[in-house]
């Protein structure tokens, strides 16, 4: 993979602090790089997965960011565990002094027909994708309220509204995440905190490589733009939602699927 090149610092982001969950790989890694190029200090967390060496990927992401002059803090954290999340957020604040943006990116999928999903398949996806985001939101909320500012962006998916076959747990988790986004926007709005979500379609990440090639090709042809997203396409929308240009947007889910949902 070609490493992102350093870019000019984006106005308003210099010296700000972003927390990206699941920031070692895939979309989370692209988001961390996007904020780093904008001039932010980047904190990200990661957690082991059975099918990949996430710790090695975390070290690579941390090293690459540092080599580009980005101040970075990375730590292992299971977002399903509220105590671990609270410790991670506290460590970020001790390390950088503040948090300005939270990106709830950590997520997993265990696909299968709903009658074949085990209780563990269901629980692990909901606990990671929904409870994990809630834990991070709840842990950051007191800090955001005290400083009377903050931006939160959660990564949903187009399956929240247009599920295909075999994604009952994943679609339910992302629909719940969008509901959490709207509720948090209501509760934190008085503290000048914006809470939004992005809903990507299919994105060229490691997870896409696990899908059948014919499914990927059919999806590409169905999209109005005739292509799938690159991670940077989503990361730039996340950055926009954290910018002052989006200061009057809250409680919304921005669909970034190349027109796939127009079918």
Are 171 and 159 in contact by the 8 Å Cβ rule? The answer is yes
Helical axes 168-188 vs 119-126, angle rounded to 10°: 30
Residue with tokens 């709830």, as numbered in its chain = 104
47 vs 88: CA distance, rounded Å: 12
**C-alpha closest to that of 75 among 118, 2, 23:** 23
**Radius of gyration, alpha carbons of the chain:** 17
Give the C-alpha separation, 225 to 238, whole Å.
20
Q: Is 170 a catalytic residue?
A: yes
Q: Return the structure tokens found at 188.
A: 């934190």
Distance separating alpha carbons of residues 184 and 114, to the nearest angstrom: 29
Catalytic residue among 47, 73, 101, 170: 170
Q: Which residues contact 36 (CB under 8 A, 6 or more apart)?
A: 42, 65, 68, 70, 72
DSSP 39-79: T-EEEEEE--BTTB-HHHHHHHHHHHHHHTT--EEEEE--T
- Residue 156 near residue 106, CB atoms below 8 Å: no
Query: Where do we find the tokens 């994604």?
Result: 167
The set of catalytic residues is 170
């Amino acid at each position: 993979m070609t490493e992102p090149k350093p870019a000019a610092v984006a106005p308003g982001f210099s010296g700000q602090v972003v927390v990206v969950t699941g920031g070692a790989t895939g979309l989370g890694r692209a988001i961390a790089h996007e904020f780093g190029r904008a001039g932010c200090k980047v904190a990200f967390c990661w957690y082991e997965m059975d099918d990949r060496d996430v710790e090695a990927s975390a070290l690579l992401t941390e090293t690459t960011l540092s080599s580009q002059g980005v101040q970075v803090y990375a730590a292992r954290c299971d977002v399903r565990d509220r105590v671990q999340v609270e410790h991670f957020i506290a460590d970020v604040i001790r390390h950088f002094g503040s948090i300005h943006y939270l990106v709830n990116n950590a997520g997993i999928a265990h696909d299968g027909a709903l009658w074949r999903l085990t209780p563990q398949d269901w629980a692990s996806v909901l606990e990671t994708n929904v409870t994990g985001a809630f834990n991070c939101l709840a842990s950051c909320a007191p800090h955001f309220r005290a400083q009377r500012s903050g931006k939160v962006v959660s990564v949903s998916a187009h399956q929240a509204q247009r599920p295909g076959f075999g994604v009952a747990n994943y679609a339910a988790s992302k629909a719940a995440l969008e509901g959490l986004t709207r509720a948090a926007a209501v509760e934190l709005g008085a503290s000048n905190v914006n809470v939004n979500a992005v809903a990507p379609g299919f994105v060229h990440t490691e997870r896409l490589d696990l899908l059948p090639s014919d499914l990927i090709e059919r999806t590409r042809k169905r999209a109005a733009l005739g292509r799938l997203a690159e991670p940077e396409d989503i990361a730039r929308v996340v950055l926009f939602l954290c910018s002052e240009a989006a200061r009057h947007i809250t409680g919304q889910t921005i669909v970034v699927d190349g027109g796939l949902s127009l079918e």
